[in-house]
Chains A and B, each alone.
Chain A
Amino acid sequence: MPDSKQDIISKLRKNILHWEGFRPPQAGNAGTFGLGAIEAAFPNGVFPVGTIHEMLCPAPEQTAATAGFIGGLLAVLMKKGGACLWISTSGKLFPSSLMAFNVEPDRVIFVDLKKEKDVLWVMEEALKCEGLAAVIAELQDISFAQSRRLQLAVESSKVTGFLLRTDTRKVGTTTCVARWQINSLPSELEDGLPGVGFPRWQVDLLKVRNGNPGCWQLEWKDGSFVPIEEKAAIAETYVRKAG
């Protein structure tokens, strides 16, 4: 009997994951983000698309680093020919920079708004539009109820959303699948050459539904993410029991 009990529990777990929107990896689709160890932190070992990710970026430096990280993800998300919406109230993102992350800037539509309230409305409408590659919104704060509306929108449309939160003083619970914080790290060049090297980030996965939070170091090099191996050991210390 204990065997069957174990079976039932694992089956139920799988069902729960399925109901929560996590899909088992599809053949030929897995690991395309190239995030290495980070992807393993998510249930089934797949970076979840079709959900909403939350990024904390209180300072413009962090927003810039986050924009770079998202740029790397967008390159994969937009490969199928989809367009992407970038909603903000500051309008500082420089389209030309996206080219460095293999994203065609002319396929990104920028929505510059004045009011915070409009950002949420536009994001919800955009998330309802099936076929968009991604919707990114910069906003100060979001309540649980507001995040639930967004979650309901993506559940039917399967659009990936990114929330860039600038006000991190009181970060409450949201329905987002993961909460990230990206900080810049000093770049390194081989053999002590002068100049600035490839962008390098400290990626902290603060919260993840049904997964293992952790922190990693990443570099963007030659058009793909390169995990920095020697620091990967830190991740182990953060591992929490799943469930």
Chain B
Amino acid sequence: MQKRFVSIWFRHLTTDWLTLRRPALKELPFVFAAPERNRIVITAANALAEKQGISVGMAAADAKAIVPSLEVIDEIPGQADKLLKALGEWCIRYTPLIAIDLPDGLILDISGCAHLWGGERAYLGTIIKLLRSKGYDARGAIADTVGAAWAVARFAKVKPIIEPGGQKDALLSLPPAALRLDSLILERLQKLGFYTIKSFIGIGRSVLRRRLGQNFLVRLDQALGNADEPLQLLQPIEPYHERLPCLEPIRTATGIEIAIKQLLENLCRRLEGEGKGLRTAILKCYRVDGEIAEASIGTNSGSHHIDHLFKLFELKIPTIEPALGIELFTLDAPKVEDVLPGQEVLWSPEGCGLDDVALAELLDKLANKVGASSIRRYLPQEHHWPERSIKPARTLQEKRATAWRTDRPRPSLLLPRPERIDVMVKLPDYPPNFFIYKGEKHTISKADGPERIEREWWLESGEHRDYYYVEDQDGQRYWLFRLGHYSEETSPQWFIHGFFA
């Protein structure tokens, strides 16, 4: 389709905004100024000030000398960006594809939009008229390329709508600054005597590249339509988005259920056709009173299974507050991934392994109710330090990289933090005779050890642990350790770290 772009130029963006905030400034010449290299430089001037010969880039002191009544206001950093964002969001009613063009413009991709307003002339007229009636001094232009629209909006003295394919003719009479070039290149062009684009457009590309650099050629190509110019959109488009407007506001759980089912059906049909599955989905319910109720779900692996996804949303329905009623449901899938079509098995396996769909769906359901962080699977890690010998697996299918160690006894229960115990030890480097844990005395009858585990000095500092596998008089088995060495003055501390089967 033929691409068409609108470039809107706000000639006095920040000053117009301040005039709207403080109507008293309407009759006064005023400027915004900011310190730059030890002097105060004007960054924006309103129309009245410009009429009296004040321009951007002038020192504030000079401007004051020209117009003694000039009001100098400190610049608000980031204000232009904020204003453009707000204006861009307002413009979304005209086209969904809007990009900010700092410092003072907007770019609208209007391909296929203008006919709704009765042609491009009426379309541009509507936008500009509305913006002007709001108090912003805006100029706009329509062309096939962003570059051409930008140039025409700012520099052309003719009609602002360039016919399809006519951007070259439109650009010819414009100054080189219309190509969005660096000041350095502009200065060089000025020195060479190129005052209009016409004067250098016919020169060979290699010559231009040698004199003015690659960037110059890119800008020229973008303006002429020989090179693509990607836009950074204000609101990136959700590729998977479903809407369901309701005739009557919906207030019941049953109604919400039906709405979710319909949305899922449409979304899943599309996902299935494209061989994709969703990982996260966000349901937004626009209420009559202007509030938006949200519910989101996540899955372990891409899914386009309607029943399963509906079950996940079913858990969230009680959290959706319909209040006076919901008039619009939207369903977004911001994260999707490729799903391999499941291979049919001739004999269904008796067990449900980790890559089974039923298990993945169960875990999705659990994760959406109790939180994904509480569901863990562990893989071995090559560390001797017990707390670091396991690591949580990132995905359900992740395979272990190293084997589980079985050469050393490890307790069935491991305390999250080792707990202090009081012990009686006859000889250093021997297991204790008895220990007292939680007020109970355990006399040790059998013991294995010590197994010395050094702290990993490249990860943390501290003393080593000497582990003993001990059994008390009742046959209960424990994992105790001694922290550090014996020394002249102090005896090391003992801890209990686990319970053996």
Contacts and interface: CB of A to CB of B under 8 A. Distances in A.
B87 interface: no
B471 interface: yes
A131 B356 CA distance: 9
A189 B445 CA distance: 12
B311 to A, nearest CB: 10
B469 interface: yes
B400 interface: yes
Interface in A84-142: 91-97, 99-101, 104-114, 118, 121-122, 125-126, 129-133
Interface string B327-359: 000000000000000000000011111101011
B298 interface: no
Contact of B349 (A80, A91, A197): A80
A122 B409 CA distance: 31
Interface string B397-434: 00010001110011111111000000000000000000
Contacts of A104: 404
A220 interface: yes
A92 B477 contact: no
B501 A67 contact: yes
Contacts of B475: 183-187, 200
B438 to A, nearest CB: 10
26 contacts: A67-B413, A81-B350, A83-B351, A94-B386, A94-B411, A94-B412, A94-B498, A96-B389, A96-B410, A97-B501, A106-B400, A106-B404, A108-B378, A109-B375, A110-B378, A111-B375, A112-B374, A122-B366, A125-B362, A126-B362, A130-B352, A132-B362, A186-B473, A197-B446, A199-B500, A220-B501
B474 A132 contact: no
B412 A93 contact: yes
Given A99-B405, A125-B365, A195-B447, A81 B353 contact: yes
Contacts of A105: 378, 380, 390, 404
A63 B406 CA distance: 21
Contacts of A185: 475
B476 A61 contact: yes
Contact of B352 (A108, A118, A132): A132
A97 B412 contact: yes
A199 B363 CA distance: 34
A228 interface: no
A67 B362 CA distance: 24
Contact of A65 (B379, B390, B416, B501): B501
Q: Which one of B351, B369, B501 has the highest number of Cβ atoms from chain A below 10 Å of its Cβ?
A: B501
A115 to B, nearest CB: 9
B17 interface: no
B488 to A, nearest CB: 30
B297 to A, nearest CB: 15
Interface string B196-212: 00000000000000000
A187 B363 CA distance: 40
Given A91-B416, A111-B375, A81 B349 contact: yes
Interface of B: 349-354, 356, 358-359, 362-363, 365-366, 369-370, 374-380, 386, 389-390, 393, 400, 404-406, 409-416, 445-448, 469-471, 473-477, 498-501
A83 B400 CA distance: 15
A121 B368 CA distance: 13
Given A107-B354, A126-B362, A184-B474, 8 more contacts: A64-B477, A81-B350, A91-B416, A92-B415, A108-B377, A110-B375, A132-B359, A186-B471
Contacts of A233: none
A27 interface: no
A94 B376 CA distance: 12
Interface string A172-212: 00000000000111110100001111011100000000000
Majority secondary structure, A binding face? mixed
Given A81-B349, A81-B350, A111-B374, A199 B393 contact: no
Contact of A113 (B374, B409, B470, B500): B374
Given A100-B406, A110-B376, A125-B366, A82 B477 contact: no
Nearest to A102: B406
B501 A64 contact: yes
A106 B398 CA distance: 9
Nearest to A101: B501
Given A61-B499, A185-B475, A93 B413 contact: yes
A106 B469 contact: no
A96 B405 CA distance: 8
Given A187-B471, A196-B469, A122 B370 contact: yes
Given A80-B351, A96-B405, A184-B477, A64 B374 contact: no
Interface string A54-87: 0000001101110111010000001011110000
B303 to A, nearest CB: 16
A93 B390 CA distance: 12
A107 B399 CA distance: 10
A139 to B, nearest CB: 14
A116 B450 CA distance: 38
Nearest to A185: B475
Given A97-B410, A97-B501, A118-B370, A83 B474 contact: no
A42 B357 CA distance: 34
B414 A92 contact: yes
Given A112-B376, A195-B448, A64 B404 contact: no
Contacts of B447: 195-196
B350 to A, nearest CB: 4
A189 B448 CA distance: 12
Contacts of B353: 81-83, 107
Contacts of B376: 109-112
A199 B412 CA distance: 11
A71 B501 contact: yes
A80 B350 contact: yes
A93 B379 CA distance: 14
Nearest to A67: B412
A106 B358 contact: no
